[in-house]
Amino acid sequence: MTSISSFSITQVPLLNLLQDIKSGKIQVADFQRSWCWNEERITRLLASISLGFPVGAIMLVEQSYSDVKFRPRLVEGVNLEHPPVPTALILDGLQRLTSLFMSLLCDQPVRIDRGKRYPPEKHWYYIKIAEALKYPPNKRHEAIMGFSIDEALYRDGEILVDSQTREIEADLSLFPLFQVFNFPEWRSHYCKYQHNNPQKLAMIDEFEATVIKNFEQYQMGVFLLSAELPKESIYYIFEENNKRHSQATEFDWLTASFAAKGFDLRSDWIAREKRLNSHPVLRYLRATDFLQAIALMANHTQRAQVPSPRSHPQELAKVARSRDVLHLDLAEYQQGMEPLSLAFEQVAHFLRNQAIYEPNDLPYPMQLVVMAPLFTILGEPVKLNWVYQRLKQWFYCAIISGSYSRLREATATKDLLEVPQWINGGEVPSTVTEAHLSAQQLQSIVNAGSPIYRTLTAFLRCDVALDFLTGEPIPRSLRSDPKIENHHIFPQQWCKQQGIPSSRYNSIINRTPLTAQTNNWLGGVAPSEYLIYLEGHGMSEQRIEEILRSHLIDPATLYNDDFDAFFEARTQAILARFGRAMGKDELGDNQAPR
């Protein structure tokens, strides 16, 4: 019996692989995901290579010049006006190879994924030579640092030095990793600058022998799949390998699955992402979010058959997971992709009316994913005012309940059943009835990034809060004025002098959005002093009171420098504002939810 192997195993020098990527000989199958690693993964990968440690094998699939099976694309960071037909495509190991290519052989900085709420950054990578030689292997990654694209060397907000010149790099003994395969030239310049200092030369000799040589001589294990394998087998191999890797997403797996049926999910998403990103609040919506919304929509009929919509949340969560994103079929995606796209645009309009304009304004991003299928289920009645008001009530109650920070899948399942039933004359959803905010809860919040404070800030924008100094409305979007920040009303310095506990003066009750200019002007003086200053510069007392009330502040408490009275009055004013949004006239420690 003849044994037939579908692959070969070999070792290939790292530099050869990266050069083949740069020339376009090695590309990516277009059904693969884009590059998306964060800084920690990159530095740990570079550290392992610098030590000569294994980082796992990669998998390539041969491409036939006569019959190209997959549509290829260049690895991120490669720019070729006329890309060649590739000889091989990356099937597994894309994130590692892209990280290494961009860090070591590319003339561009590395794009760093910073998570859902933030735009990516671009960094150059350096090794601190002395630390690399001194640290034990398990600390090597701490000697590798990413610096901003203008090569201003800083970390954790602290500027270290502007390294626009090689001389400064040499002074600090920082080695730029993009010079790792050009070390002789870099060494020559370094030694010349150091005037062949014996101590420096000894250090650089050791660095070359123990670090640089590991990069130069590194061999990557490569599985090379035969070009004779049918497409279906290659998709299967891709899916099975990625299921074992936590880095792979549902989008990656479905892209491969749909590609086997002739549908290019990646291209479809790129077009939809561009369309949805025209709405600022949807700017960080990801492919996995869109797929989750479609899965929720596709599963709605099944969930509606659960005997009791008041079932325990964990029961409902099991139903939600029984046919999750990975079980979406192509027909379900194609059926839901356009209705959900339209619904996301409706949701963006809804959020805009709540003065939520940016992704960072969203209290819970998961609510965005749930609202699109909810709007789709409700259909045209969403446009009716009374339906719109109930949706607002549900939206704010869901924020207060905090359920979208915990049992997200269960809450989504439950709300997609209960909210439409409520709209159609059924019982009030448990998300609404169970939501409650007490004065004690509100006062205990000190995180200005908390969902409740994000919501309070949106209320103030919606109600046209005015800046203390200029009297101008607080901008709707932080993008229009990034200097808008959450500042103390009673300044910290004054509070400390009065012996007020930090838990009180740092509470969100004592915070409000103001321009950086206004905050600097307020300084550390008593409120009565900065109010007198405003009057002295032509602002009437009536106008000052109007500005303070726009922030839910009782003016008399500031004029009297009465922190306790201010704290209590603003607590009640904020509770009342939340109560109106939640459809509950009163909120407080003794107020039962309605």
Give pLDDT tens digits along the chain (594 positions).
333 567 888 999 999 999 999 999 999 887 776 767 788 889 999 999 999 999 988 989 888 654 556 778 899 889 898 999 899 998 888 889 999 999 999 878 887 776 655 667 788 899 999 999 999 998 999 999 887 755 454 444 444 444 445 666 767 788 999 999 999 988 888 888 877 788 888 998 999 999 999 999 999 999 988 877 776 677 677 766 765 554 556 787 788 778 767 888 988 998 999 999 999 999 989 888 999 999 888 887 666 555 554 555 444 444 444 346 777 889 899 999 999 999 999 999 999 999 998 888 889 888 889 999 999 999 988 889 999 999 999 999 999 988 887 667 778 888 988 999 999 899 999 999 989 999 999 999 998 888 999 999 999 988 889 988 888 888 764 444 446 778 899 999 999 999 999 999 999 999 998 887 787 777 788 999 999 988 888 889 999 999 999 999 999 999 999 999 999 999 999 999 999 999 886 554 433 333
Contacts made by residues 278-282, CB under 8 angstroms, sequence distance 24+: 279/344, 279/345, 279/348, 280/357, 280/358, 280/359, 280/477, 280/479, 281/348, 281/351, 281/352, 281/356, 281/357, 281/358, 281/359, 281/361, 281/362, 281/368, 282/344, 282/345, 282/348, 282/359, 282/368
For residue 163, what are its two tokens?
Answer: 């390294």
Give dist(CA 467, CA 546) in Å, integer: 11
Looking at residue 316, its pLDDT comes to 45
Residue type, 191: C
DSSP state of 208: I
239, 240, 244, 246 alpha-carbon torsion, rounded to 10°: 0
Looking at residue 317, its pLDDT comes to 45
* 132 and 214 Cβ atoms separated by less than 8 Å: no
Phi, psi dihedrals of residue 225, rounded to the nearest 5°: -75, 145
Phi, psi dihedrals of residue 111, rounded to the nearest 5°: -85, 125
382 CB neighbour count, 10 Å cutoff: 18
* 284 and 117 Cβ atoms separated by less than 8 Å: yes
For residue 457, what are its two tokens?
Answer: 């800030």
Give dist(CA 421, CA 380) in Å, integer: 15
DSSP state of 560: T
Instruction: Give the residue carrying structure tokens 């740069």.
Output: 22
3-class secondary structure, 58: strand
- Alpha carbon 426 to chain centroid, angstroms: 37
Looking at residue 37, its pLDDT comes to 78
Give dist(CA 507, CA 444) in Å, integer: 6
DSSP state of 385: H
211 CB neighbour count, 10 Å cutoff: 23
* Burial class of residue 301, CB neighbours in 10 A (0-12, 13-18, 19+): exposed
Give dist(CA 306, CA 310) in Å, integer: 9
Give dist(CA 91, CA 224) in Å, integer: 9
CA angle 236–239–241, rounded 5-degree value: 105
pTM: 0.67
* 21 and 79 Cβ atoms separated by less than 8 Å: no
Size of the chain, expressed as the number of residues it contains: 594
Give dist(CA 94, CA 106) in Å, integer: 16
